[in-house]
Amino acid sequence: PKAGGQCPACGGPTLELESQRELLLHLAKRSILDKLHLSQRPTLNRPVSRAALRTALQRLHGVPQGALPEDNREQECEIISFAETGLSTINQTRLDFRFSSDRTAGDREVQQASLMFFVQLPSNTTWTLKVRVLVLGPHNTNLTLATQYLLEVDASGWHQLLLGPEAQAAYSQGHLTLELVPEGQVAQSSVSLGGTAHRPFVAARVRVGGKHRIHRR
Amino acid sequence: GIDCQEGSRMCCRQEFFVDFREIGWHDWIIQPEGYAMNFCIGQCPLHVAGMPGIAASFHTAVLNLLKANTAAGTAGGGSCCVPTARRPLSLLYYDRDSNIVKTDIPDMVVEACGCS
């Protein structure tokens, strides 16, 4: 309806079209941010290359359709966190994953988490890799070993390591550190880990908002 | 439900597409490029309260109530044009640590409108 007319729904004065559009766009933004439990839109401080994004998405397992939890307050999402390569030496690579959000750590529950990493190996080589899960100590000061996995890698390409409850708990708290320590005789110089389009990442399936429901029950 | 046409006055669904590039959100929302928010607008006179769209039996029930109430004085309250069917929106976006998040937001897209 034209400006100055009467609103057909509530009988109040109508907005002229441009203001109506502004109002609707504002409502749309608010609605998306509220449903994502964000107080404002994220500012991206560590842009991800399109190549790394494309590679990671090829590996993201879709949330099975219709898998919406029965209670709208619970929402399930898939998260891919690219590693920030922490302090690394020739003998070990440290990967830091951060996952903070406007929500408190208490109301997100990691259902499943896997480390995905890419390795370039010389042919006919088997490479033994120890993956150590480090978590912040009780006073959030230093990192302590929570658990570790031993992995035999015998081919170049992407490899997946399913992470256990210690890593899931650390990720739920917002900060997970993994240390990749090669074992055995293979010369480290002949092995390359990752690369721009092959950044290691953690793929996690997280349920948010569920804790409140369990807590309420 | 009914989609609004030019000059519709009765309760209907108004299409409204939000283009994420237009609102400057295309840098952090990877997919989709926008979403059809849609909204309900229009009048709901009492004789169409519970208007079908998807609630024919409810409509009959309300009419019977109205007859009964009219017989015993006027029926109070109004009927409003509200969403009667909505579907989720799948989003792929970056969070503030540049993690990629894929989630389905329930009840984000209004598919049909009707009278309460």
Per-residue H/E/C for B26-49: CCCEEECCEEECCEEECECCHHHC
- What does the pLDDT read at residue B101? 92
Region of poorest pLDDT, from A69-78, A117-126, B32-41, B53-62: A69-78
Per-residue pLDDT in tens (0 to 9) along chain A, 217 residues: 555 677 666 677 777 778 888 999 999 999 999 998 888 999 887 778 888 888 888 776 543 333 444 444 567 788 999 887 655 555 678 888 887 655 544 567 888 899 998 888 888 888 888 999 998 776 767 888 999 999 898 888 888 999 999 888 888 888 889 998 888 765 555 566 666 678 889 999 888 765 444 433 3
Alpha helices in B1-116 (DSSP H): 56-71
ipTM of the complex: 0.81
- What does the pLDDT read at residue A189? 56
Cα B54 to Cα A86, B49, B59, B84: the distances in Å are: 57, 12, 10, 7
Between chains, do A44 and B9 touch, taking CB under 8 Å as contact? no
Please report where in the chains the tokens 């519709």 appear, as a residue: B8
- Taking the C-alpha atoms of residue B8 and residue B27, their distance in angstroms, rounded to an integer, is 37
- B16's enclosing H/E stretch is none
Give CA B45 to chain center in angstroms. 18
Between chains, do B91 and A32 touch, taking CB under 8 Å as contact? yes
- Taking the C-alpha atoms of residue A212 and residue A24, their distance in angstroms, rounded to an integer, is 31
Determine which of A18, A77, A176 to mutate to test the interface with B (most B C-beta atoms within 10 Å): A77
Query: Which pair of structure tokens corresponds to residue A60?
Result: 């993201």
Between chains, do B100 and A53 touch, taking CB under 8 Å as contact? yes
- What does the pLDDT read at residue B67? 76
